[in-house]
A = this chain, B = another copy of it.
Amino acid sequence: MPISRSDVSKGAPRQPAKARSRPTAASRARPRTNRESREDSVERIYHSALRLFVQQGYRSTSIDEIAAGAGLTKGGVYFYISKKEHLMAQMLDDIAARYIDAVIARIQAEEMTAQERLVAFMHSQVSFALEWPEEVLLLVMASVEFSKSGDMLTKKIDEIYGRMRSFIVQTIEEGMAKKVFKTKLHPSAAASFYVATHDGMMLEWYRRAAQTDGPELVRVFREAFLRVLS
């Protein structure tokens, strides 16, 4: 009974979730049907896990904490997930689908120059990150936590980042073929630069949320990247 919420969370309001230490039946609006109840719980688990994973890291977050944040007990969480690892994998897939694959698909569907494609990609990612910063951070932080750990999740992270890199490399190659980009930089190096800056930016933004002007950082990022390609 795997979690999947690709579309569920769209407009989901982030509940403040003040460490509701003991879940009571009354603490959540009781949904009528099983279907609703299920979706509700899945939603709560997802958000609880997302918040906690980003804040404390995957390994430092216990199922108990996730459960408490979701207004359930440990056993209740295990009704929906089979393993902690699977929950994380599910979440990463979910985010990748929305943050990477959907964006690429939309862009590929339209007629554009390579440069336009790249800009569109950046803009889409930036918009997404502004709306759902935690999901993007989960990706970035997971890529750090699992980079070489030999964990089952290492592979998944690699694949996800691989898809992002491939798109950029392809687009740059296309642009170079059409002489849009004049850089002598190897496309894969350029992709690395994109990824590196992307990840660094997200981390910096999170670490210094209060002191950092996100949009300005993004503007600098975009210009730096495009100038690198010219």
Contacts and interface: CB of A to CB of B under 8 A. Distances in A.
B192 A212 contact: yes
Contacts of A24: none
A144 interface: yes
Interface in A183-223: 185-186, 188-189, 192-193, 195-201, 203-208, 211-213, 216-217, 220-221, 223
A212 B55 CA distance: 30
Contact of A185 (B199, B211, B216): B216
A15 interface: no
A193 B228 CA distance: 15
Given A149-B56, A149-B60, A212-B189, A143 B203 contact: yes
Contacts of A188: 211-212
Contact of A200 (B150, B185, B198): B198
Contacts of A224: 193, 197, 224-225, 227-228
Given A55-B148, A148-B55, A200-B201, A193 B220 contact: yes
A141 interface: yes
Contacts of A150: 56
A213 B204 CA distance: 24
Nearest to A207: B147
A65 interface: no
Interface residues of A, number: 45
If over half of A's interface residues share one DSSP class (helix, strand or loop), that class is named, otherwise mixed; here it is helix
B149 A57 contact: yes
Nearest to A213: B189
A10 interface: no
A28 interface: no
A164 to B, nearest CB: 12
Contacts of A216: 185-186, 189
A9 to B, nearest CB: 22
A192 B217 CA distance: 8
Given A57-B59, A189-B220, A224-B227, 18 more contacts: A55-B149, A147-B206, A148-B207, A188-B212, A189-B217, A192-B212, A192-B217, A193-B217, A196-B197, A196-B201, A196-B203, A196-B204, A199-B200, A199-B203, A200-B200, A200-B201, A200-B203, A227-B227
